[in-house]
Structure 1
Amino acid sequence: MSQVTVGQPLPDFTAQSTQGEISPAALRGKWAVLYFYPKDNTPGCTTESQDFRDHYKDFLAAECTVIGISRDSLKSHAGFAEKQGLPFPLISDGAETLCSLFDVIKMKNMYGKQVRGIERSTFLIDPEGTLVHEWRKLRVPGHVDEVLQTLKERAGNK
């Protein structure tokens, strides 16, 4: 599967989430935000997920679904979602299929060592299934507000 870029439709895939199987076909007809994060229950990832949770009603009002993705197991995701009260699905991508498709696996410095990990990234998919916007190397503070603003501008709900 080749990497998806802005302006391209998502290729077909199926992924297991805390709320069942997810595919591009299942997302058609509404906007979708896919956010990739490094690890459940870590400070930045928890804050980012809480921010999406706290704005979830705003995303729903814009006819947009939110989906979190990391390499953690479904069991880890279920515990994380329950602990944080996350109303949206979390995809387990242990095989890095979606991580590769969206090119989010990068070499990162952690405590002076080079490690492979997920670069925090968010992707906006339109109702036809086309990637229309991406945020890479992002910082958590204010990010969800920026995603919501871009969604509203793109969807015509200013």
Structure 2
Amino acid sequence: MEHCPSFTAPATSGQSISLPGSGLTVLYFYPKDNTPGCTTQAIGFRDHYAAFAAANVTIVGVSRDSLKSHENFKAKYELPFELISDPEETVCNLFAVMKLKNMYGKQVRGIERSTFVIDSAGNILKAWRGLKVPGHVEEVLAFVNTI
């Protein structure tokens, strides 16, 4: 079983988030605030937030956007969970989610959309890499409900 690297990172609401945490954590990496896929994904986690909370799961999003961008994104879509700002790609590199992608015919380095379920002992119970947004949040919820 893969192990979660320990880290502490700055997040929205003036918080620092450390992992491993207490209980289960869904740590999801996404490319950019306020883009269509990332917004759909964040809204999915928001809309299923009560079900995740009922399963004692903490949701945390990560991208390279600034805390200011994250705060605006969080407020605009009323996200009930924190977002980690990782402009130096420290957390992204710990989870190996930085990939070369093709954008309009150019190679660009960016975050590969990925989700990890991590327990309080730091075990990565499940990892999804290079995932597609439709149905993903429901798949993560179904998985955590089996634990």
Question: Which category of TM-score, normalised to the shorter sequence, fits these structures?
Answer: over 0.9
The Cα RMSD (Å) is 0.9
Which structure: greater strand fraction?
Answer: 2
In 2, Cα distance between equivalents of 1:64 and 1:50:
17
Tell me the matched-pair count: 146
Which residue of structure 2 aligns with residue 8 of structure 1? 2
Give the alignment partner of residue 21 of structure 1, picking from 16, 34, 55. 16
Which residue of structure 2 aligns with residue 4 of structure 1? none
In 2, Cα distance between equivalents of 1:47 and 1:108:
20
1:87-142 Cα offsets, whole Å, 9 max, x none, are: 10000000101100111000000011000000000000013221111001111000
In 1, Cα distance between equivalents of 2:112 and 2:2:
21
In 1, Cα distance between equivalents of 2:6 and 2:120:
15
Equivalent position amino acid for 2:80 in 1:
P
**Runs of 5+ in structure 1 lacking a partner?**
1-6
Cα drift, residue 84 of structure 1: 0.5
In 2, Cα distance between equivalents of 1:73 and 1:95:
10
Which residue of structure 1 aligns with residue 36 of structure 2? 43
**In the alignment, does 2:64 pair up with 1:67?**
no
**What is the TM-score of this pair, normalised by structure 1?**
0.90
- Percent identity for Structure 1 against Structure 2: 59
Equivalent position amino acid for 2:27 in 1:
L
Give the 3-state SS of the residue equivalent to 2:7 in structure 1. coil
**What is the TM-score of this pair, normalised by structure 2?**
0.96
Which residue of structure 2 aligns with residue 140 of structure 1? 133
Which residue of structure 2 aligns with residue 92 of structure 1? 85
Give the 3-state SS of the residue equivalent to 2:34 in structure 1. coil
Please identify runs of 4+ aligned residues in structure 1 that moved more than 6 A.
Answer: none
